[in-house]
């Protein structure tokens, strides 16, 4: 009898592939069938769409209605296709001109009275539309998010009737605009009392994008130092802001503007493998992807499941994670900076002069043994953070260090120097990059070889010391890596120097 095609978008990981919503009206008993690999929420659309059409003043056709979501081998989930299905039925039944939807892609979940509810991934859909010449129509709550991309015209509608009025030209919708930039500032490094060595290590880690593990007793300030790291990291450039915003969008977070501050994620140690690395059905990004272009902070590191920690090894090297399922394999970006904290022993007071440690050597070894050597090899800086003296805890005292803004200026200068020389931060160099750009002088090389033999450093740890020394030299304004730079880098291999015993 009649046929209509409406353009929409699915969600697959952080991508938003195109979907054609085909609606066909045929003779036979009245029914509505949805085909094309729909999940349960999509199958339920037939009840939402029927009620929304009737309650919005339209006639639901007394015919056999078949809705095909093409391509048929792409899984579809959620209520994002409700609006496209409703408009397809209206176009196929003659209640809306078929040409009215040309040049538009539509997303939105319908309520029973015809209002539009927000969907996930509106920003991802807008980014995928770049250069197509099409416009995007989304629920009003997604309008600012779709406009953040700046790639296509985006329109936000509150109801099905508002969309049809816009498509007919009766009441055009206003083009959406991004919202104001979020106002949030990480804790300032100047507020941290004492801990000068830890602050220096934090600056080195920020300058070269290196991983950092802090070991110390409870209350030493490890968590506060960790939360200061985003404040001294270089601000994200526009392309990296888009990447971070896209990931927040597909996770269902409200995105109204780009954020130049690097993401900071701090999952609890009870997080499962899918929660941290990604997975589920359908696969969704995990915390390491949500920390993309930012910081992943793992507090109480040995308390995480060992299998979960071991799953971090590949993403730390490659900057992405693959989630394999029977139907497809999805790749999620995961270029994050690892920051971790741990106690030196189960009770937390090993090496603390003010508290007696209650742990036996066997308990300490078991606790330390929860972290594998290959994982520790991938963490460039391993630092002890001692407890603060009581005198520095007096009320009214302020931090005695530099402000985060001052430190960030030095970090940004080093990062720009490294990008100009190597194309990436020192912490991201591969083996060839280390050979080309991390060459110490003769004295420094001899010192490094002697220290490596004494400490039993692996080949990976040897290269990571060189990358760390490259950053230390850049902070020092030196083009050639000297012995002092290598010595400081080796100083940060705390667990290697202690023979694997923390504290």
* pLDDT per residue as tens digits for the range 104-128: 999 999 999 999 999 999 999 999 9
Across the chain, mean pLDDT equals 91
Question: Which pLDDT belongs to residue 326?
Answer: 67
- Range 189-497: architecture per CATH: 3-Layer(aba) Sandwich (3.40)
pLDDT beyond 50 at 368: yes
Query: Where residue 496 falls among pLDDT bands split at 50, 70, 90?
Result: low
- Domains 2-168 and 189-497 agree in fold: no
Higher pLDDT, 494 or 452: 452
Mean of the pLDDT values across residues 465-478? 95
pTM of the model: 0.90
Query: Where residue 1 falls among pLDDT bands split at 50, 70, 90?
Result: low
Query: Where residue 183 falls among pLDDT bands split at 50, 70, 90?
Result: confident
pLDDT beyond 60 at 498: no
- pLDDT above 70 covers what percent of the chain? 95
Question: Which pLDDT belongs to residue 500?
Answer: 47
pLDDT beyond 70 at 392: no
Q: Which residues contact 169 (CB under 8 A, 6 or more apart)?
A: none
Which contiguous run of DSSP H or E holds residue 33? strand 31-35
8 A C-beta contact, residue 213 and residue 377: no
Map out the domains of the chain as residue ranges.
2-168, 189-497
Q: 3-class DSSP state for residue 66?
A: strand
Digit-coded pLDDT (tens) for 371-381: 988 898 889 99
* Residue indicated by tokens 């508002």: 162
- Range 2-168: architecture per CATH: 2-Layer Sandwich (3.30)
Digit-coded pLDDT (tens) for 266-298: 999 999 999 999 988 778 899 999 999 999 999
Question: Which pLDDT belongs to residue 325?
Answer: 75
Q: Tokens standing for 443?
A: 């004295």
Question: Which pLDDT belongs to residue 499?
Answer: 47
Higher pLDDT, 325 or 349: 349
Q: Which residues pair with 333 in a beta bridge?
A: 320
Question: Which pLDDT belongs to residue 158?
Answer: 97
User: What span, in angstroms and rounded, lies between the C-alpha atoms of 342 and 220?
Assistant: 11
Q: Check the CA dihedral 494-496-497-503 and report its sign.
A: positive
Worst-scoring range by mean pLDDT, 186-195, 412-421, 428-437, 483-492? 186-195
pLDDT beyond 50 at 502: no
8 A C-beta contact, residue 319 and residue 338: no
* Burial per residue of 42-80, b for 16 or more beta-carbon CB atoms within 10 angstroms, e otherwise: beebbebbbbbbeebebebbebbbbbbbeeeebbbbbbb
Question: Which pLDDT belongs to residue 390?
Answer: 66
């Amino acid at each position: 009898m009649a046929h209509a095609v409406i353009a929409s978008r699915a969600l697959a990981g952080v991508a938003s592939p195109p979907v054609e919503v085909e609606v066909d009206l045929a003779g036979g008993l009245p029914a509505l069938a949805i085909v094309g690999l729909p999940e349960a929420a999509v199958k339920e659309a037939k009840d939402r769409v029927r009620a929304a059409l009737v309650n919005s003043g339209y006639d639901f056709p007394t015919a056999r209605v078949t809705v095909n979501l093409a391509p048929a081998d792409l899984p579809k989930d959620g209520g994002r296709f409700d609006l496209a299905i409703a408009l397809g039925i209206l176009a196929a039944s003659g209640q809306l001109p078929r040409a009215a939807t040309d040049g538009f892609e539509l997303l939105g979940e319908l309520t029973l009275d015809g209002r539009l509810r927000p969907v996930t991934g509106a920003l991802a859909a807008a980014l995928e539309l770049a250069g197509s010449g099409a416009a995007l129509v989304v629920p009003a709550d997604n309008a600012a998010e779709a406009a953040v991309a700046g790639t296509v015209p985006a329109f936000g509608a509150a109801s099905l009737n508002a969309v049809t009025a816009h498509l007919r030209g009766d009441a055009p919708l206003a083009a959406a605009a991004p919202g104001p930039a979020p106002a949030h500032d990480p804790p300032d490094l100047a507020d941290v009392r004492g801990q000068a060595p830890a602050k220096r290590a934090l600056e080195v880690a920020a300058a070269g994008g290196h991983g950092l593990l802090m070991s110390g007793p409870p209350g030493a300030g490890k968590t506060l130092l960790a939360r200061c790291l985003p404040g001294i990291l270089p601000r994200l450039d526009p392309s990296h802001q888009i990447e971070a915003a896209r990931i927040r969008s597909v996770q269902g977070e409200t995105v109204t503007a780009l954020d130049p501050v690097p993401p900071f994620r701090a999952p609890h140690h009870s997080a499962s493998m899918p929660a941290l690395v990604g997975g589920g059905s359908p696969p969704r990004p995990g915390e390491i992807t949500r920390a993309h272009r930012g910081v992943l902070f793992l507090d109480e590191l040995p308390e995480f499941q060992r299998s979960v920690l071991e799953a971090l090894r590949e993403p730390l090297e490659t900057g992405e994670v693959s989630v394999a399922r029977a139907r497809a394999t999805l790749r999620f970006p995961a270029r994050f900076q690892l920051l971790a904290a741990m106690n030196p022993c189960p009770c937390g007071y090993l090496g603390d002069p003010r508290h007696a440690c209650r742990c036996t050597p066997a308990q300490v070894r078991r606790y330390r043994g929860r972290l594998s050597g290959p994982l520790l090899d991938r963490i460039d800086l391993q630092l002890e953070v001692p407890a603060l003296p009581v005198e520095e805890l007096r009320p009214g005292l302020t931090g005695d260090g530099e402000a985060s803004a001052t430190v960030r200026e030095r970090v940004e200068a080093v990062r720009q120097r490294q990008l100009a020389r190597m194309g990436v931060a020192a912490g991201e160099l591969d083996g060839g990059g280390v050979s080309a750009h991390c060459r110490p002088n003769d004295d420094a090389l001899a010192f490094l070889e002697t220290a490596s033999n004494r400490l039993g450093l692996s080949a990976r740890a040897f290269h990571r010391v060189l990358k760390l020394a490259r950053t230390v030299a850049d902070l020092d304004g030196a083009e050639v890596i000297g012995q002092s730079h290598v010595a400081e880098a080796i100083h940060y291999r705390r667990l290697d120097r202690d023979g694997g015993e923390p504290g």
